[in-house]
Chain A
Amino acid sequence: KQEVTQIPAALSVPEGENLVLNCSFTDSAIYNLQWFRQDPGKGLTSLLLIQSSQREQTSGRLNASLDKSSGRSTLYIAASQPGDSATYLCAALYSGGGADGLTFGKGTHLIIQP
């Protein structure tokens, strides 16, 4: 069974710090990996999508990397702000045709202290 694991489950850091969220997956034959943000009581907001042929993607202060050989992805957040507080989810797509959908990790709950 394909599994996605996120470590740590929770993280609290002071404002301004750079931080890394980790995501590991059990099957290197992924089609792509997507990072989401979820605010309490809200839906999922797509942050970054990394195709299997890519090694990283950047959007503003966010940078996501993908290493298929080691089964790992990281989300780097630069100069963290209180508004970054949320749960961050990574999800792997294992089927190029869209069947079976995304396999999700359980998320990292991030708190940025003002």
Chain B
Amino acid sequence: DAGITQSPRHKVTETGTPVTLRCHQTENHRYMYWYRQDPGHGLRLIHYSYGVKDTDKGEVSDGYSVSRSKTEDFLLTLESATSSQTSVYFCAIWTGNTEAFFGQGTRLTVV
């Protein structure tokens, strides 16, 4: 699993509340990614980071923000959660030999 830990693993939150998901890696890789996985859509890129404080938007970034203040941590924040953000969120890292590894996922339900 390349030392990737996501927290929390499950969360239920109410519409309009802020939510932060955490991805932690132990192997000092430069690139980190946040994806969401939904039935019928597959995995889609939300945001990615190519270094400390260096981030960029992916395909479905609206309503999400990210931060990376340390190499090992990449945070995904839903500023004001909506029901459309109910999904499974995956963090991934990209190693030096171009292989990608994924965390175990966070199942988020917005009610």
Residues of A within 8 A of B (CB): 31-32, 34, 36, 42-44, 46, 49, 51, 89, 91, 93, 96-102, 104-107
A101 near B48: Cβ-Cβ < 8 Å: yes
Other A-B pairs beyond A43-B90, A104-B42, 6, CB < 8 Å: A34-B100, A91-B43, A100-B45, A101-B48, A106-B40, A106-B42
Stretch of B14-22, B27-35, B62-70, B74-82 that contacts chain A: B27-35
The verdict on B84 contacting chain A, using a C-beta distance below 8 Å, is: no
A98 near B90: Cβ-Cβ < 8 Å: no
Cα separation A92 to B40 with both chains bound (whole Å)? 19
Interface residue from A44, A93, A98, A107 paired with B102 (Cβ < 8 Å): A44
Give the 4 A-B CB pairs with smallest separation, nearest first: A98-B31, A106-B42, A44-B102, A43-B104
> A89 to nearest B CB, angstroms?
7
Number of A-B contacts (CB under 8 A): 65
Cα separation A44 to B33 with both chains bound (whole Å)? 14
Residues of B in contact, count (CB < 8 Å): 27
Dominant SS among interface residues on chain B: strand
Cα separation A30 to B60 with both chains bound (whole Å)? 22
Q: Name which residue of chain A comes closest to B57, CB basis.
A: A100
> B1 to nearest A CB, angstroms?
8
Cα separation A107 to B1 with both chains bound (whole Å)? 20
Cα separation A91 to B45 with both chains bound (whole Å)? 12
Query: Which residues of A have CB within 8 Å of B33?
Result: 101-102
B105 near A49: Cβ-Cβ < 8 Å: no
Query: Which residues of B have CB within 8 Å of A102?
Result: 33, 43, 45, 92, 100
Cα separation A99 to B58 with both chains bound (whole Å)? 9
Question: What 1/0 flags go to B81-94 for Cβ under 8 Å of A?
Answer: 00000000010101
Query: Which residues of A have CB within 8 Å of B90?
Result: 43-44
